[in-house]
Structure 1
Amino acid sequence: MESLWPWLAIAGVGALHGLNPATGWLLAAAWGLQSHDRSLALRALGPIAVGHAASVALVAAAVIFGLAMDRLLLQALAGALFVVVAVLHLWRRTPKAARAPAGHAGLALWSFMMATAHGAGLMLVPALIPLCMSDTPAREISTSGSLLLALAAMGVHTAAMLAVSGVVATGVCRGAGWFQSLRQKSPTAPR
């Protein structure tokens, strides 16, 4: 049971990230609401997963290879990237196209920036250290057993985040659809 606690912590932190609207469920729900198709909200989780996993992998790799990371530097880089993307977005857009949702690349970039700014990978470090430093048989799978465990931890974390994000995004889409149907049935609703 002792070796299960780090995995539960990794999944718990992932679920907590899934509840945060800045990590992507809000944008996924917006995709579903704008298209009137809840399945589009679930398809938006793919780019969110790519961006989130890239951020977590960056930190996990630094921990495994013993690299020192400065959180303020990472946040400053993520903020600068956000400003550059926002300026380019505003500079290239026309008013008619401003209503178009972000593309898959934009959603992945948003997810990467938010996960990096929120310290998604840094939150996993306390759970990764006991896993990577233990003498369990799983660590000895290959010469890079720590890397394999870190990838597994990243997968568990991202899967938990996506599960919660998907439930929340589709719940928002379903709730908005239910509210809209109530408004249409009400005789006093403005048309």
Structure 2
Amino acid sequence: MANLWPWLAVAGVGALHGLNPANGWAWAAAWGLRSRDRAQALRALLPIAAGHTASVALVAGAVVWGSAMDRFTLQVLTGGLLAACAVLHLSRRSPRAARAPAGKAGLALVSFMMASAHGAGLMLVPALVPLCAGEASLAGMEGAGPLALALAAVGVHTAAMLAVTGLVASGVCCGVDVSARWLGHRRP
């Protein structure tokens, strides 16, 4: 059971990240509400997963190779990237184009930036260290190296985050539809 705790911590932090609106459920719900299609909210999970996984994988790789990561530098870089993207988006010629929703690449980028800015991968370090440097492997993974264990942890973390993100985004879309019907209003 002691070998299972780091894996449970990785999944638990993933579920916690799924509850955070900055990590994607608000974006996914907005996609679903804007298109009036709840399935669109679930389709938004793939780009959200790509961005979040990239951010967490950077930190997992740093843990495996023993590199130091400075959180302040990471936050300044992602904040600068966010500012550059905002300026680029707002500098479009027409106001209508500036109000256009983000595409899949934009959704992946904002997911990467949010996960990096608030230190999603850094939260996993206490669980990654015993996994990658200790003997906390699951059955069937005893021969796996530290990089394989780190990638498996990123996968478990992302799966837990996506499950919760999808549930919350779908619930928001469903709740808006039900409340609109209950109140007798049509959604614009």
TM class by shorter chain equals over 0.9
The reply to whether residue 138 of structure 1 matches residue 134 of structure 2 is no
Q: By how many angstroms is 1:182 displaced?
A: 1.5
Q: Deviations over 1:128-167 (max 9, x none)?
A: 11111224572423xxx00000000000000100100000
Aligned to 1:173: 173
TM-score normalised per structure 2: 0.93
For residues 82 and 93 of structure 2, the distance between their equivalents in structure 1, rounded to whole angstroms, comes to: 16
Q: By how many angstroms is 1:98 displaced?
A: 3.5
Indicate the structure with greater helix content.
1
Q: By how many angstroms is 1:93 displaced?
A: 5.2
For residues 162 and 94 of structure 1, the distance between their equivalents in structure 2, rounded to whole angstroms, comes to: 35
Residue 3 of structure 1 aligns to a residue in which SS? coil
The reply to whether residue 31 of structure 1 matches residue 34 of structure 2 is no
Q: How many residues align?
A: 184
Aligned to 1:46: 46
5 Å-filtered alignment, 1:62-81, equals 62-81=62-81
For residues 7 and 82 of structure 1, the distance between their equivalents in structure 2, rounded to whole angstroms, comes to: 32
Equivalent position amino acid for 1:151 in 2:
L
Q: Cα gap change, 1:177/1:87 in structure 2, threshold over 3 Å: closer, same or farther?
A: same
Q: By how many angstroms is 1:37 displaced?
A: 0.4
Q: Cα gap change, 1:140/1:41 in structure 2, threshold over 3 Å: closer, same or farther?
A: same
TM-score normalised per structure 1: 0.92
Report which stretch shifted further, 117-126 or 91-100: 91-100
CA RMSD of aligned residues (A): 1.6
Unaligned runs of 5+ residues in structure 1 are none
Aligned to 1:148: 148
Residue 173 of structure 1 aligns to a residue in which SS? helix
- TM superposition outliers: structure 1 runs of 4+ over 6 Å: none
Task: State whether residues 23 and 114 of structure 1, in contact with CA within 8 Å, keep that contact through their aligned partners in structure 2.
Answer: yes
Residue 143 of structure 2 aligns to a residue in which SS? helix
Task: State whether residues 6 and 127 of structure 2, in contact with CA within 8 Å, keep that contact through their aligned partners in structure 1.
Answer: yes
For residues 164 and 111 of structure 1, the distance between their equivalents in structure 2, rounded to whole angstroms, comes to: 15
Q: Deviations over 1:7-32 (max 9, x none)?
A: 11000000000011011110100010
Residue 66 of structure 1 aligns to a residue in which SS? coil
For residues 153 and 15 of structure 1, the distance between their equivalents in structure 2, rounded to whole angstroms, comes to: 13
Task: State whether residues 14 and 161 of structure 1, in contact with CA within 8 Å, keep that contact through their aligned partners in structure 2.
Answer: yes
Q: Cα gap change, 1:139/1:69 in structure 2, threshold over 3 Å: closer, same or farther?
A: farther
Aligned to 1:112: 112
For residues 109 and 2 of structure 1, the distance between their equivalents in structure 2, rounded to whole angstroms, comes to: 36
For residues 150 and 126 of structure 1, the distance between their equivalents in structure 2, rounded to whole angstroms, comes to: 12
Residue 91 of structure 2 aligns to a residue in which SS? helix
For residues 93 and 25 of structure 2, the distance between their equivalents in structure 1, rounded to whole angstroms, comes to: 24
Aligned to 1:6: 6
Q: State, as a whole percentage, how many aligned pairs show the same letter.
A: 67
Equivalent position amino acid for 1:66 in 2:
G
